Amino acid sequence: MLTRRELLSSAVLAGAAPLLAKKSSLKIGVTDWNLRMSGKVEAVELAARLGFEGVEVSLGRKVEGDKLPLDDAGIQQRYLAAVKQHKIAVAGTCLDVLHVNYLKSDKLALKWIAAGIPITKTLNAKVMLLPSFGKGALEAKDLDYVGDALRELAPAAEKAGVLLALENTLSAQDNVKIMERSRSKAVKVYYDVGNSTYAGFKPVDEIPWLGASRIAQIHLKDKGYLGEGQIDFPAVMKRIMELGFHGFANLETSSPKSVDEDMKRNLKFVRGLMA
């Protein structure tokens, strides 16, 4: 027969089982633009040297010859060689030309999304960020149009195994409306804790509401060093870790003093919360 202590231990383990089953394998990457190496292969070596597990790569916004800057087989092979050498991943790509050709209103945006999908696949990345900010910021009136546009592009993304990740200043609920309108599992949310906070939303509520299945990737940032701004990062990281999320969270943090030292500082802070 089991002793009382053994019975209590069994009960505790049984109660903990759901949490253990959802244990996160979150990986921490960094954006190449915050390394001040936007679209440069050298960002791979720097990200690896600083201790990151991945680097988010800009596809470029200055179109030349009717092609994205990274729509070049030679450049793509240089990236593949660099990530292999430095034992790091391309955490994702960013279609930053959407800062010029807005998703909500410019037909060229759809052309660039279609062009970005095979580039992202070649780089062995799973996520392509679709930013909508500034004059291109999405509003409630844009939800149906964007959802319909992405519905046309989603089959190619699904076939390539690439997620089209929405990053904007909308609420989690409005982003899900776009996802549902697209009718595709390839359209998900790129959740930026900084953008959401400063748009008036609460990441500690929105992250668990979205759940791991609707989040493609995450940006971690605040105004200033992580842990010293408005965002309650211990609470935010707790919510993220509880999701059982298995993708990348990428630091999109500024470096007021030194890229090397400031990135190391923020990375150490995040990893401390994960531990």
Instruction: Supply the Cα-derived Rg of the chain in whole angstroms.
Output: 20
Kindly report the CA angle at 110 between 166 and 220, in degrees rounded to 5?
Answer: 20
The domain 22-274 is placed in CATH, from the list 3.30.465.10, 3.30.460.80, 3.20.20.150, 3.30.70.3170, at 3.20.20.150
> Residue 19: is it exposed, middle or buried by C-beta count within 10 angstroms (0-12/13-18/19+)?
exposed
Do residues 59 and 39 make contact, with C-beta atoms less than 8 angstroms apart?
yes
d(CA 49, CA 112): 32
> What is the longest distance spanned by two Cα atoms in the chain?
78
Q: What is the pLDDT of residue 212?
A: 96
Q: What is the pLDDT of residue 65?
A: 85
Q: What is the pLDDT of residue 64?
A: 84
Q: What is the pLDDT of residue 261?
A: 98
Do residues 26 and 49 make contact, with C-beta atoms less than 8 angstroms apart?
no
Query: Rounded to whole angstroms, what are the CA distances from 19 to 12, 24, 274?
Result: 12, 10, 15
Q: What is the pLDDT of residue 38?
A: 97
Element (H, E) at 174: helix 172-182
249 closest CA partner among 240, 260, 262: 240
Q: What is the pLDDT of residue 242?
A: 95
Domain boundaries in the chain?
22-274
Per-residue pLDDT of the chain (275 residues; tens, 9 = 90+): 444 444 333 333 333 333 333 556 899 999 999 999 999 999 999 999 999 999 999 999 999 889 999 999 999 999 999 999 999 999 999 999 999 999 999 999 999 999 999 999 999 999 999 999 999 999 999 999 999 999 999 999 999 999 999 999 999 999 999 999 999 999 999 999 999 999 999 999 999 999 999 999 999 999 999 999 999 999 999 999 999 899 999 999 999 999 999 999 999 999 999 98
Tell me, yes or no, if the pTM score tops 0.85.
Answer: yes
